[in-house]
Amino acid sequence: MEPDRWLGVELRHFLALEAVSREHSFAKAAVALGYTQSAVSQQIATLERLVGQKLVERPGGPKPVSLTEAGRLLLTHAEAIAARVAAAQADLTALEDGEAGTLRVGVFQSVGQRILPELMRRYLASWPKVGVSLTESADDSDLLAQVERGELDLTFSDLPLTEGPFESVELLRDPYVLVVPAGSELAKRSSPPSLREVAQFQLIGHKYCRTRIQIETVFREPLDYVFQSDHNQTVQALVAAGVGMALVPRLTMDAQDESTELIDLPKLPPRVIALAWHRDRYRTPAARAFVDTAQAVCTELEPEAVAA
């Protein structure tokens, strides 16, 4: 294939390929893109001519269309290119807005309860013209994907990060605790339960916490989860009610809740909380200041996080 043919490939060709793959129909792809069906067909035909490969199987009639092996391979590159274009658009918007723009930040629940209030108080006092838009998710891999697509400027995340074009700074080490009902005999012992003992307990845990999966590898046998929830207060309330004991990071629990007690488990590696961003994107002074403020707040919070 002549290499200069690829110079004719345009983003709209890739978007058409992605829409056809997603909708399994030229007509539905046209509706999704706001084009006519003939325009989508023409874009796919042009793309096939430029790359010199058949990309779409066209069975005819009511049967759904699908991508060929070459089409599926090209689609992986198309998705990455579309993400970079979205990130470039976000960069230019950030550059135009300067210090008076909107900073888009991803957070999960324990950060929102324990870190964010003091962080926002300090940050907004120093950067009053910057609006902060928060996106919440129990799954930090979803937040990192939004950073990659240019939909978020920063996100809180657990380390290690998922694979992608990211840079990060560590903020806080959050130790794991065993949460038991108030008055439990376990809390009266001079030493915490062993990991072998913990593995025998009926446990309550979080659903979409990547570090929970990592922590389970420390145990030699599967853990017995009787209930899972991504709502921290629900987890703590279930423990107080005697449904089970919780194996969770300390910051996810309210240490002032007298219905439960927290037992440190020093043999388990802590959850490591970080702030992450796209390494290839322009970071505004406002974004850099947010990271600096978060580091300062977490430096003061960490002794509390590791306190017994």
- CATH number for the domain formed by residue range(s) 101-173+272-306: 3.40.190.10
pLDDT at 3: 58
Fold of 3-85: Arc Repressor Mutant, subunit A (1.10.10)
Alpha-carbon distance of 101 to 93, in angstroms, equals: 8
* Residue spans in the chain of domains classed CATH 3.40.190.10: 101-173+272-306, 176-269
Class of the CATH-defined domain 176-269: alpha beta
Contact present, 268 and 197 (Cβ < 8 Å): no
24: left (phi over 0), alpha (psi -120 to 50) or beta: left
Cα 57 to the chain's mean position, in Å? 35
| Sequential pLDDT tens for the chain (308 residues) | 455 778 788 888 988 998 999 999 999 999 998 999 999 999 999 999 998 899 999 887 778 999 999 999 998 888 888 777 777 777 666 656 555 578 999 999 888 888 999 999 999 999 988 889 999 998 899 999 999 999 999 999 999 999 999 999 999 999 999 999 998 999 888 899 988 899 899 999 887 777 777 788 888 778 888 998 888 899 999 999 999 999 999 988 988 899 999 999 988 999 999 999 999 888 888 999 999 999 999 998 865 554 43
pTM score: 0.67
What is the number of other CB atoms lying within 10 angstroms of the CB of residue 142?
A: 15
* Residue spans in the chain of domains classed CATH 1.10.10.10: 3-85
